[in-house]
Amino acid sequence: MQTSSYSSSRILLPVRPWFIGFSLLVALLLNFLPTTIWHGVPDWLALLIVFWSVREPRRVGMGLAFVFGVAMDVADASLLGQHALAYVLAAYGGSSLSRRILWFPLGLQALQVLPLLLLVQLVQFSVRLLAGADSPGISYFLGPVLGTLLWPLLTFVLLLPQHQPVDRDANRPL
């Protein structure tokens, strides 16, 4: 028996495109917060790009990841293309592994997502080092671990608007 990707047995409604865009914009704004003093803050935009490319690979793909990556590069005043490259690779990985990831329960899905989130950090880390920046240290890689731990909660919150209302007639005796 296949385990569901979410603990509910109800069928989900299709996701509305405006909700995907809204959640990605919120993640972009969360990335704009000054978090240099806190170590281990996840890359919210990378986490949402992976989530939506796994859940909705036809709507969130490499093109949208590239646009948000360039926006992050401009806002972060970092080397142009470092976020874009990392997000495109994450979107590609998420969409190509979406069927595999969704097969697992939420806890194991998080373990499947961890390499994608680590890839984002590793690409950004490598580009920064090639550009001559100082190494940020091992705490730089705590963000993907926290993002992995947040995956079940994130899934629950982002799938709430897709739940159908419980049909009252289905519970009535005949």
Could you read off the pLDDT of 96-155 as tens digits, one per residue? 999 999 999 999 999 999 999 999 999 998 998 898 878 777 877 899 999 999 999 999
pLDDT at 166: 64
Q: How many CB atoms lie within 10 A of CB 111?
A: 12
Q: How far apart are CA 46 and CA 121, in angstroms?
A: 9
48-96: pLDDT as tens digits: 999 999 999 999 999 999 999 999 999 887 788 899 999 999 999 999 9
130: buried, middle or exposed (CB in 10 Å: 19+, 13-18, 0-12)? exposed
Residue 3 has pLDDT above 50, yes or no: no
Residue 73 token pair? 């590069």
Cα separation, 97 vs 91, in Å, equals 10
| pLDDT, tens digit (0-9, with 9 covering 90-100), for 164-173 | 666 654 555 5
The residues, any chain, with a CB within 8 Å of residue 45's CB and separated by 6 or more, are 24, 27, 28, 30, 31, 68, 72, 83, 87
Q: Is 81 helix (H, G, I), strand (E, B) or coil?
A: coil
Residue appearing with tokens 């409604």: 13
Which pLDDT value is given to residue 169?
Answer: 45
Paired tokens of 11 = 């069928």
Angle between helices 62-76 and 44-55 (to 10 degrees): 170
CA distance 18 to 23: 9
The predicted structure's pLDDT at residue 174: 55
